């Protein structure tokens, strides 16, 4: 089947590291959300189609949402297995998208977001760092994937040489920064668009 099931991935792997008293690190890459998003192209879309078929979107957008249901159910299974093995309270889950769903098309993404997106905002994704025991906190300053590791290191109180990392702890008081391949960048003060050479202040 294509794409492969995230649920199956979790199901057949958790016993590899949830079977002892040693600390573990498990890295998963989700593939169930891979494009295309038509039922004819994607087995995961067909699997969850009944849950999205009545939504007010076109077929591809509904298909994309169907594939995300697979990831959601995979995370549900992971949390369930952690709980069954008395590991949930001691486990931190870090969830990060490595890119926006470019296979969905800009127009469909804008439909889901609810407003037009420029070439920089299109790349906006979320980072989730979760543990069942920690209090929810939302950080809305710009950051990027290189900031994840120093953030997690500091949350765990690990000693490391910060000079070896380009990123910064997201919880630190330093100003956030995110930059793109084309040299556009975003800070809390606004966005610089390399394609036009223009800077747009935040809330302008």
Question: 102 is written with which tokens?
Answer: 């470019």
pTM beyond 0.75 = yes
Question: 124 is written with which tokens?
Answer: 């906006």
Question: 166 is written with which tokens?
Answer: 């380009």
Question: Do residues 177 and 187 touch, judged by C-beta distance below 8 A?
Answer: yes
Helix pair 106-113, 59-84: axis angle to 10 deg: 60
Question: 65 is written with which tokens?
Answer: 């949402």
pLDDT (tens, 9 = 90+) of the chain, 204 residues, equals 789 999 999 999 999 999 877 899 999 999 999 889 999 889 999 999 999 999 999 999 999 999 999 999 999 999 999 999 999 999 999 999 989 999 999 999 999 999 999 999 999 999 999 999 989 999 999 999 999 999 999 999 999 998 899 999 999 999 999 999 999 999 999 999 999 999 999 886
């Amino acid at each position: 089947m294509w794409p492969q099931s995230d649920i199956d991935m979790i199901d057949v792997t958790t016993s590899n590291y949830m079977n002892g008293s040693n600390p573990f690190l498990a890295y998963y890459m989700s593939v169930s959300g891979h494009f295309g998003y038509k039922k004819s192209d994607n087995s995961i879309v067909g699997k969850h189609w009944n849950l999205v078929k009545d939504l007010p979107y076109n077929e591809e957008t509904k298909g994309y949402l169907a594939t995300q249901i697979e990831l959601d159910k995979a995370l549900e299974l992971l949390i369930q297995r952690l709980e069954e093995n008395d590991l949930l309270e001691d486990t931190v889950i870090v969830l990060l998208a490595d890119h926006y769903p470019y296979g969905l098309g800009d127009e469909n993404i804008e439909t889901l977001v609810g407003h037009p997106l420029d070439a920089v905002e299109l790349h906006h994704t979320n980072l989730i760092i979760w543990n069942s025991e920690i209090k929810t906190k939302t950080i809305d300053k710009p950051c990027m994937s290189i900031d994840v590791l120093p953030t997690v290191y500091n949350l765990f109180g690990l000693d490391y040489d910060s000079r070896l990392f380009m990123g910064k702890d997201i919880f630190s008081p330093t100003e956030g920064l995110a930059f793109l391949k084309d040299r556009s960048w975003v800070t809390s003060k606004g966005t610089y668009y390399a394609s036009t050479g223009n800077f747009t202040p935040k809330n302008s």
